Homo-oligomer: A and B are copies of this chain.
């Protein structure tokens, strides 16, 4: 009793390439065939690994969220204070080379808002992931309510500024606003 062994890593390998493709070509018109052609495999290879179109989309946005967290938020909780964490977060998220990734992020975000049942996992974590890290950065002595309020404001401001930057490309103006926000975070007890 034997047979070819199951390749447990194949799905993850394909997923990386699929996410790359999606970052570049967009999320709204994603279909099996063009993706498969770009990866040099058949459509059924993808279907075999991901099950269905909906499961593919869920896998994509799950991996996208992971990537962004790894690249921009992984070490946020280890910063000494909220202002430093916020500055690190903004510097990383506003880096030009991350723009395509965040455009996809907001495309997914918007779609999830209109299909909350399908993408519930994304909406659950999209704020909570950062909230936990930014609360942690404020230390255990901070009043929880205050910590949550500050963290909420930091997440919102960074994402709002990022929306502006990605839409207008006006980096000077947005960076100027970001600096004033970060400076205000650093100077008073906020």
Contact = CB atoms under 8 A, between A and B. Distances in A.
Nearest to A125: B167
Nearest to A109: B110
A92 B112 CA distance: 23
Interface string A117-139: 00000010011100000000000
Contacts of A89: none
A103 interface: yes
B115 A26 contact: yes
Interface in A26-72: 26-28
Interface of A: 26-28, 103-104, 106-115, 123, 126-128, 145, 148-150, 152-153, 155-161, 163-164, 166-168, 173-174, 176-177, 180-181, 184, 190
